[in-house]
Amino acid sequence: MERKRSAVQEMKIDREDMLALTRRMTIKRTSITRIAGAYIDPDGFVDGTFNTRFLKLTGPEKMKNLEIAKAIPFAETNGCLKRYIVPEDARGRESMWQLLNGAKVSGLENDALLDIFYEMFAENYRSSHEYGIFLFHDRYDIPSKAADHERLGESENVFEYLICAVCPVSGDYEAGMPECGFLFPAYANGSALVNCIDIYHADERHPHEELMEILLGKKDK
């Protein structure tokens, strides 16, 4: 069913929240559990998929994919990376919001859900070249802190989230840096903002409006 949306509501992103996530995106510190994705040809057809545990990647593969994943939360805050409230009418049954929640909870291990996501994305995304959809699942153990902000040690909360990066690919599925993507759900002050999503565009002056429609619903006309 086609969903319409009214004016999109934005929220400010605290840069420190994004740095808390990106500081851990190194080979030694990463807690990314899984990477999955699909390659889409210029006509919008899925040309192949992959799904594997992140720890199974080689060192160079980990480095390259961490670079891709990090590009989303490390982007210019409130510029290239903006936070939006997912409209209430875009959170119902068969919505993208519901689909992403399912993919997150499953830790990207439900291929049936992912196949639906790839097909929905490819059907609506406009590109003149082959591209890849790269999905990362992460669990961030949020460190407990005292009133003076000193770390206490054991974490009390876990922030579970997805990063999606849409990258041009060439040759033997060699991925370039993301042209757009998102982080879901959004993260603020040690908690998940379950009804918010951070959307990234490499060129904020020429955003992929269709990505907004995919994630937030179509604009009212």
The model carries a pTM of 0.91
pLDDT of amino acid 5: 46
Full domain range(s) for residue 163: 4-138+155-219
> Distances in Å between the alpha carbon of 106 and those of 35, 36, 74, 91?
13, 12, 25, 18
Per-residue pLDDT band at 156 (split at 50, 70, 90): low
pLDDT of amino acid 58: 97
* DSSP three-state, residue 34: strand
In a domain, 80, yes or no: yes
Burial (CB count <10 Å: 0-12, 13-18, 19+), residue 41: middle
Mean pLDDT of the chain: 91
| Overall average pLDDT of the 18-26 stretch | 95
User: Angle, nearest 10°, between helix axes 111-124 and 96-105?
Assistant: 150
| Overall average pLDDT of the 135-143 stretch | 92
In a domain, 143, yes or no: no
In a domain, 114, yes or no: yes
pLDDT of amino acid 150: 52
Number of domains in the chain: 1
pLDDT of amino acid 142: 86
Q: Which residue reads 């997912």 in tokens?
A: 86
In a domain, 149, yes or no: no
| Overall average pLDDT of the 160-174 stretch | 95
| Overall average pLDDT of the 197-214 stretch | 94
Residue 108 reports pLDDT greater than 90: yes
In a domain, 32, yes or no: yes
Pairing of β 186-188 and β 151-170? unpaired
Residue 7 reports pLDDT greater than 70: no
In a domain, 150, yes or no: no
